[in-house]
Amino acid sequence: MWFFNFNRNGPSGFSGASTAEEVTAGVDARGLAAVVTGASSGIGLETTRVLALRGVRVVMAVRNVAAGHKAREAIRAEIHGAIVHVLEMDLSSMDSVRRFASEFDSLNLPLNILINNAGILSKDCIRSIDGLELHFATNHIGHFLLTNLLLENMKSTSRTTGVEGRIINVSSSGHILTYPEGICFDSVKDLSRFSTYIAYGQSKLANILHSTELARILKGDGVNISANAIHPGFVGTNLFKNWTMANAVVNTIGRIVCKTVEQGAATTCYVALHPQVTGISGKYFSNCNLETPSSQASNAELAKKLWEFSSNIVSAAKL
């Protein structure tokens, strides 16, 4: 049954088997500019490649600059006229995120699309350089800060061009397991409170809640920018590189049951570029179709609480 549902087209006309190239076929995105985090490998790299293929000028935000340059050259060799930049950014460090935003500003580029794609799954519960639990710091706080720093550019670009800006947070399943209350805020600084699995789960739940509250704020401000969360599906990427057993499963059984990277990047590219998504904000997409996430992920009050908590962390770090 899973296999047939995976291949069955939804209302969008696409399915879990659709690739990023297929869902963007015929889209002319020349003149648009995008930032993609975690762009040097996996889903981020395929997202960057397909955006460039459709004419988007892409800034790759990467932790490993050498890998970023290698990926950029591969894209440029394949796609004639592709415009791709590489800038360093370590999402686990708020100082690094701020430096990236400053360097991006120095390029004097507009910004139409922000794809918060990067993520980690660590074996250990450790602290970031800012003293936060590493999954929460990297998967959520880094992207939360980056979005806030680039938002004025996106607003200006939208006003000037009349083109809708789009922010995409790459999350996980809308039914991921977390604490009963959703986000255990105390555990962000007290690493003894939870397991690695739960740490990762609540950081990805935070991605959905971030989109929900951001969409509400943007709508209230009358800004022509959408914010949505997407689930790429289970893809055999290097996310599991630090997990010997999980990595072995991905490299064996995963080849049969996992999505390909081309399929994994499809929902991101669909929400970033497809005209069907115009005007849709604060939603959750899976397999290039709208999906209803869990009650926790749909909790507007929890989303507001997370926004306030995240804003306080970012403000305190700046001081």
- Residues classed as catalytic: 200
CA separation for the pair 173, 175 (Å, rounded): 5
The vertex-120 CA angle with 116 and 126, nearest 5°, equals 125
Start-end of H helices in the chain: 2-7, 20-23, 42-53, 65-78, 94-106, 134-135, 142-161, 196-220, 244-251, 254-257, 261-264, 266-273, 300-318
The CB density around residue 285, as the number of other CB atoms within 10 Å, is 23
Closest CA to 32 of 57, 49, 52, 54: 57
How far, in Å, CA of 120 to CA of 136, rounded? 10
**Helix, strand, or coil (residue 168):** strand
- Sequence length of the chain is 319
Instruction: Scan for tokens 């996996």, then name that residue.
Output: 42
Which amino acid is it at 50?
V
What's the rounded Cα separation, in Å, for the pair 123 and 225? Answer: 36
Contact, 54 vs 28, CB < 8 A? yes
Element spanning 87, H or E: strand 84-88
User: Do 239 and 123 contact (CB within 8 A), yes or no?
Assistant: no
d(CA 9, CA 120): 30
